[in-house]
Amino acid sequence: MVPSSVLLAATACSLVLAGSQHPSVQIPDGTVIGFTNNSVENFLGIPYADTPERLRPPQRLSSPFGSLNATAVPASCPQHPLIVDPEVFEQLPPEIFAPLAASATPPPVISEDCLNLIIQRPSSTTPDSKLPVLFWIYGGGFATGSSVGYDYSTLIQESVALGQPILVVMVNYRVGAFGFLGGKELQSDGSTNLGLRDQRLALEWVSENIAAFGGDPDKVTIWGESAGSLSVMYQALINKGDNTYQGKPLFRGGIMNSGALFPAEAIDSHTAQGIFDIFSAATGCGSEDALTCLRELPYEEYLNATAAIPGLFGPEGFRLSFPPRPDPTDDFFSLSPEKAAQQHKIAPVPFISGNQDDEGTMFALPLLNDPTSPLLVKQLKGLFHVTKDEVLERMISFYPVDPAAGSPFNTGSANQLYPSFKRNAAVLGDLVFQFQKRASHIALDGLVPIWDFMSNYSKVEFLGTAHASDLTLLQTQQPSVPYKAIVQYYVNFINSLDPNVNVHGKCGKSLPHWPKWDKNQLLSMHFLDNATIVAPDDDREEAFKYFSGVQSELLY
């Protein structure tokens, strides 16, 4: 488990790194012992909270842990089961189906005792290094996800080569019925949006402890993909935009990959209460004191009962059962996110924010039996439970039946997996991702700096540049042109809060100037296979204008 240290090759713009095989860090709670691999020091499974009581807010560590051997795979939080209609993925060619199936594999170690962090840093980092900190929040629809499986060693090495080394922190937080169950019972108990509370406590831990690891608590950037991206925005909206802890901001910037806002029904709404009631009935806890019963239920019984709640890719279609929901009785997350943004109740920090070109293709896979508009409206009602049919019908009317107009975009008539697949994918991509992002940018225009991007590389059959294509890019470093550009822009932003500025004024390639987004120009950085260009962010403008007027009716 403890590989040998490896030196990173020295260049004119890199540092020579040499670290101990067994790096250790002393913090108030004890000594954390990690391991070194490829010039990166790793510390796995550092607890930032006590073992959480089920369906209660997280609590700070109540006692020191002494000496912690942080070299083994840490526990991930319990996952909502991914119950997939076999036809959903099997309709794809084997070479596309296989990696999707692999991504659905649950983490190797799962436990309710899962509130832990992974820290990665360049070798030879000392407490005096004061490296900028990148705080990673994973995605998974707030139903699944884990920090295990992510490795940002290469990103750290690239930052060193650019002369702007960074430190990465990855957080494990509760998901699904363990972290985002709603209902009046949890509202009255003050135990709503627990996964967001986990993330917040982890950020407070970073503020208190990261300096010992060589990080600068005053230079934290939060970054996430999908539900993690939404979490970045929500952390900026929490407490009505107050992101301070002990008088100092917990973070100074945010990077959002594929997720801006989910306008949501309240925590005690009919939809949220219905999910709580279905779940508690499945556990046998449908009593007057269901919450106490759920808390005392054996773990396996509780976990197995989550299968009663619709999952992301179930036979009934694409569903989001666990979005964070506003709780008007608690300032922590009191407003639906689009309202908070419109009211400018947000931390005053800059953002990089963008999407993949074909966000909706993956989520259109479960709609294979719904080729007509009336059936698509029925499916969309599973996402937007209280939206009027006529609103959805009007929204869909802006999207041509012609497959050449659908997603994957700019692929002509090809990639029509089933009748209306490309149209369905375009609708879902816009309603869930593209239009939510553009609307949030308009709401925040002039209030905080935003640099917008669109990824349009590595289009694969049927899926195009799909949701999570950016994660594949970071893993494979291919195509090299967008990979190098994105890493350099991100590292610049983490160090200087501007993707165009290298704080040391050297290293890296000359890249196009990335203009800030504003509602008059709508300019976005487009990452292509062989080029990086600035282009307008104005696709499907007529549909977006209608969406803008009904956004608050499209509630999850």
Query: pLDDT tens digits for 250-266?
Result: 999 999 999 999 999 99
Beta-bridge partners for 534: 525
Tell whether the model's pLDDT for residue 372 goes beyond 80. Answer: no
Strands 215-225 and 131-137: parallel
Confidence of residue 287 (pLDDT cuts 50, 70, 90): confident
Of 19 and 130, the structure prediction assigns the larger pLDDT to 130
Rounded Cα distance between 64 and 46, Å, is 12
Query: pLDDT tens digits for 143-199?
Result: 999 999 899 999 999 999 999 999 999 999 999 999 999 999 999 999 999 999 999
| Single-letter residue type at 193 | N
Confidence of residue 99 (pLDDT cuts 50, 70, 90): confident
> Which pLDDT value is given to residue 3?
29
By mean pLDDT, which of 311-320, 322-331, 349-358, 366-375 is the weakest? 366-375
Cβ atoms < 10 Å from Cβ of 94? 8
**Residue 553 vs residues 341, 377, 425, 518: alpha-carbon distances, Å:** 16, 14, 21, 25
Tell whether the model's pLDDT for residue 13 goes beyond 80. Answer: no
| Single-letter residue type at 12 | A
* N- to C-terminal Cα separation, the chain: 43
**Residue 260 vs residues 205, 239, 386, 433: alpha-carbon distances, Å:** 25, 18, 21, 7
Instruction: Please give the angle made by the CA atoms of 85, 90 and 94, to the nearest 5 degrees.
Output: 150
Instruction: Report the catalytic residues.
Output: 226
Helices 153-161 and 480-496, axial angle in degrees (round to 10): 70
Averaged pLDDT for residues 291-305: 97
Rounded Cα distance between 308 and 399, Å, is 34
Tell whether the model's pLDDT for residue 243 goes beyond 70. Answer: yes
> Which pLDDT value is given to residue 14?
36
360 CB burial (10 A radius; 0-12, 13-18, 19+): buried
Rounded Cα distance between 446 and 424, Å, is 34
Averaged pLDDT for residues 437-450: 96
Contact 272, 325 (CB under 8 A): yes
Instruction: Please give the angle made by the CA atoms of 409, 549 and 319, to the nearest 5 degrees.
Output: 60
Residue with tokens 């608690």: 330
> Which pLDDT value is given to residue 91?
78
Confidence of residue 60 (pLDDT cuts 50, 70, 90): very high
Q: Which of 137, 135, 151, 128 is nearest to 40 (CA)?
A: 151
Contact 493, 484 (CB under 8 A): no
Tell whether the model's pLDDT for residue 7 goes beyond 60. Answer: no
Residues 6+ apart with CB under 8 A from 425: 358, 360, 361, 363, 364, 406, 407, 408
Rounded Cα distance between 526 and 455, Å, is 6
Averaged pLDDT for residues 350-372: 88
Of 83 and 123, the structure prediction assigns the larger pLDDT to 123
> Which pLDDT value is given to residue 371?
60
**Residue 488 vs residues 137, 166, 240, 449, 485: alpha-carbon distances, Å:** 20, 12, 32, 19, 5
Query: pLDDT tens digits for 473-516?
Result: 999 999 999 999 999 999 999 999 999 998 876 667 789 999 99
Beta-bridge partners for 115: none
Percentage above 90 pLDDT, the chain: 83
**3-state class of 298 per DSSP?**
coil
Rounded Cα distance between 45 and 426, Å, is 40
- DSSP letter at 553 equals G
Contact 378, 367 (CB under 8 A): no
Tell whether the model's pLDDT for residue 88 goes beyond 90. Answer: no
User: Considering the chain, what is the average pLDDT of its residues?
Assistant: 92
Confidence of residue 4 (pLDDT cuts 50, 70, 90): very low
Tokens of 247: 């008088």
Instruction: Please give the angle made by the CA atoms of 487, 136 and 13, to the nearest 5 degrees.
Output: 30
Rounded Cα distance between 305 and 296, Å, is 14
Tell whether the model's pLDDT for residue 18 goes beyond 80. Answer: no
- DSSP letter at 237 equals H
What domains does the chain contain, in order, with CATH numbers? Answer: 24-553 (3.40.50.1820)
Tell whether the model's pLDDT for residue 8 goes beyond 70. Answer: no
